[in-house]
Structure 1
Amino acid sequence: MVPPSGPSRYLRADERIHIADRFREKASIRAIAAELGRSPSTISREIRRNGTRSPRNAAAGPTGRMSRKSVRMPVGPGPRPGRSARTPSCGTSSSTTSHAAGVLNRSAGFCGRASPSGRRCTHETIYQALYVQGRGELRRELTRSLRTGRAMRRPHRRSAKRQPRMSKDMVMISERPAEAADRAIPGHWEGDLIIGRTSRSAIGTPVERSSRFVALVHLPDGRHPAKVRDALIQTVSALPAHLRRSLTWDQGSEMHLHQEFSTATDMPVYFCDSGSPWQRGSNENTNGLLRQYFPKGTDLSVHTREHLDAVAAELNSRPRKTLGRETPAERLAKLLATAS
């Protein structure tokens, strides 16, 4: 007889193993129930539900063959297991994790294209397997392999609950000219800041929407609104007039003086909706590329104007898939030649 370790509504793993072993030995349901101190109906339901699985798989929870109804039923106190543990099409959580870790240095996309079972898994399933299932040394190894270096995934807050940082004088992205949305006409920019250590240093990252051309803004003295205004004016003033059609920014407090910027440059500023970074998709993508040159947690004020120009030139000479393998510099030159 297996002595119970304490009252529990659900069968424990050792009890399931005992049921599987005794059932294989042709013991009766009532005899097994008496040995475990459980109701015969509990033993009967367990045999009906998991009788087609091996004893070890039956004890492991919902990872082997079982009905969809059984998958939804809890196997013990605690939260419902994730998709990578519940869905055979994505393999078991351990196989998904190990396979994802094996190709992580190349791309998470390889995991979704060639999972161990030969079926596809979404990128979200891969991420959940890596972030949720990783433990101990495995977690540290995976963190070192991740391009962003993020050890945890944070849930997005609901955008409707976010409070705007500037409650007045904002012209929202919904009022931006339609020509900016289709990227056919150059001169519409997206912008933001990448922040350095302790939020005391920053670099401005305006990106031209049509060509993905980036022009980095030097902010050696911090991101006070007046500093950002003056640095943006200096950067934008170097552009020809037909490349100064609009600037789309998030609702960061550094743009508090956006009206003064617009007056000095004749370049209107439009603001994204709260908590909607995808409305500046090109800029967000560029910021991710820039983090390879300016890692998080570093002091960004140490970089000179010349270094920023060199980094921008390297990115602008990098072929981009979204541009048909053209570089941003080539695409911008082509657009300017067509416009003239």
Structure 2
Amino acid sequence: MLLEGASAQGTARRFRVNTGAVVEWARLAGMVIQMGARGGIEPVNSLMAVPDPRRAYRRLAHEDRVFIEMAINSMPAWSIRAIGRHLGVAASTVSRELRRHRVESGRGRGASRETKYHAGVAHHHTMRSRVRTRTGKLDCSELRSLVVSGLNEKHSPQQVAGRQRIMFPDRPELWVSHETIYQALYVQGRGSLRHELTVVKALRSGRTRRTPASRLPSRDVRPWLAGSRITDRPAAVADRAVPGHWEGDLVVGPDNSGVVTLVERNTRFALIERLPGSRDSATVIDVIRHQIMGLPEQFRQTLTWDQGQEMSRHKDFTIATGCPVFFCDPHSPWQRGSNENLNGLIRDYYPKGTNFNNVSDDAIEGLVDQLNDRPRKTLGFHTPRERLNQLISSVALAP
């Protein structure tokens, strides 16, 4: 009945047994059963065996198994060799078929139970075993090692996948999609990578499953400083085609601690420097001036900031560096999205509550190096340092 599409509950009512007995019978027959009023055995693609012309032998088809069932139950029963001769297969094939697909029947345990051969159950079980499970791409030890190495360097799955195509352009077997990596991280039962990582968090978000993104905050269009709003910023800044335009902000901690973060919009190159235990405007501007003055003049075009009070003396900065400052609209972090992303990366290293007064300058310098050597999808999976060096070289070689 199960093979004919009946549910487990319907089968139980037909034979006047409980549903548990039907489930146990199905398990003994090698079938996977789905529960519920509309449940039943898990279907297979086909109940007919398709001959493979490339092979010298043939597999047993459904009608062959029906004949075997009739032959062994006839009076008198056919011998295994006679069945094999009739079907045109070896006797060992018939013997193996009967041995592999025995179904226990009867009630209770011991002598009251008997073993029978059922053609439908045998063929269903055989077809299920032939359904090939797709080999995971990350089963390749070399590729898996490269992916784990990239994740341990705090590269995202997308960055790892993109970098593989650059590093191994002639070896597509070492290419992998970022979705495959996410599946290996999210789905614990299928090639999980988590136990092979040395970092605490596999993903910067810290999530172990996908969650819908939150809504962006509502926009407030109030200007903070007349003449220095983002709408007053040159239009050339928006398309990121021209280098030298920066975004900045503070990442703060307790005890008036924090770091100043700057990121170049074209190359995503980051500059990070620790504040000396003070966040007043004069101190912040002095740190930014020290950061940006080490760059060629062509790379000091504009700076986009939020409306924090730490930049209330931005005109002093502009006079000292020649780099004008423009301010985003209130509650509009996407207007300086590269810097928001950079600050998120920094929080992956130093979570909220970190006292930056206790973080050494060497640790900050190591953080900057790792972030600037991080491959980025928006850069074709090149690194910010590579792109900035290319631009500086082209400027130096220009007549």
TM class by smaller structure: 0.5 to 0.7
TM-score, length basis structure 1: 0.54
Corresponding residue number in structure 2 for 1:239:
295
TM-aligned CA distance change 1:157 to 1:196, over 3 Å: same
CA shift, 1:306, in A, is 2.9
Q: How does 1:184-223 map to 2 (within 5 A)?
A: 184-197=241-254, 200-223=256-279
- Choose from 332, 335, 339 the match for 2:391: 335
User: Alignment partner of 1:205: what SS?
Assistant: strand
CA contact (8 A) 1:225 1:253 kept: yes
**Distance across 1 between alignment mates of 2:394 and 2:245:** 16
CA contact (8 A) 1:246 1:267 kept: yes
Corresponding residue number in structure 2 for 1:251:
307
Corresponding residue number in structure 1 for 2:319:
263
Write out per-residue CA displacement over residues 36-60 of structure 1, whole angstroms, 9 at most, x where no aligned residue. xxxxxxxxxxxxxxxxxx89xxxxx
- 2:218 matched to 1:158? yes
Q: Aligned residue pairs: how many?
A: 213
Corresponding residue number in structure 1 for 2:230:
173
CA shift, 1:146, in A, is 7.0
Instruction: Output the amino acid matched with 1:276.
Output: S
CA contact (8 A) 1:197 1:296 kept: no
CA shift, 1:241, in A, is 1.0
User: Alignment partner of 1:179: what SS?
Assistant: helix
RMSD: 3.6
CA shift, 1:246, in A, is 0.5
**Distance across 2 between alignment mates of 1:317 and 1:145:** 19
Write out per-residue CA displacement over residues 130-176 of structure 1, whole angstroms, 9 at most, x where no aligned residue. xxxxxxxxxxxxxx8874459x997654223x8x6x84345111222
Instruction: Output the amino acid matched with 1:305.
Output: D
**Distance across 2 between alignment mates of 1:320 and 1:145:** 18
**Distance across 1 between alignment mates of 2:317 and 2:214:** 34
Instruction: Output the amino acid matched with 2:232.
Output: E
User: Alignment partner of 1:336: what SS?
Assistant: helix
Corresponding residue number in structure 2 for 1:66:
none
User: Alignment partner of 1:192: what SS?
Assistant: strand
Instruction: Output the amino acid matched with 1:267.
Output: C
CA shift, 1:257, in A, is 0.9
User: Alignment partner of 1:185: what SS?
Assistant: coil
Q: List alignment gaps of at least 5 residues for structure 1.
A: 1-53, 56-104, 115-125, 127-143
- Choose from 325, 329, 352 the match for 1:296: 352
Instruction: Output the amino acid matched with 1:252.
Output: G
CA shift, 1:179, in A, is 2.1
TM-score, length basis structure 2: 0.46
Q: How does 1:1-80 map to 2 (within 5 A)?
A: none
**Distance across 2 between alignment mates of 1:110 and 1:303:** 36
Q: How does 1:265-284 map to 2 (within 5 A)?
A: 265-284=321-340
CA shift, 1:268, in A, is 0.3
**Distance across 1 between alignment mates of 2:226 and 2:359:** 33
CA contact (8 A) 1:221 1:227 kept: no
Q: What fraction of aligned residue pairs are identical, expressed as a percent?
A: 43
- Choose from 306, 319, 329 the match for 2:375: 319
**Distance across 2 between alignment mates of 1:146 and 1:185:** 32
Q: List alignment gaps of at least 5 residues for structure 2.
A: 1-35, 38-150, 159-177, 187-200
Q: How does 1:96-115 map to 2 (within 5 A)?
A: 110=179
User: Alignment partner of 1:159: what SS?
Assistant: coil
CA shift, 1:335, in A, is 1.5
TM-aligned CA distance change 1:154 to 1:183, over 3 Å: closer
CA contact (8 A) 1:188 1:244 kept: yes
CA contact (8 A) 2:204 2:345 kept: no
Higher-Rg member (1/2): 2
CA contact (8 A) 1:170 1:271 kept: no
Instruction: Output the amino acid matched with 1:159.
Output: R
- 2:373 matched to 1:307? no
Write out per-residue CA displacement over residues 276-332 of structure 1, whole angstroms, 9 at most, x where no aligned residue. 111111111111111122221111122233322221112111221211121111101
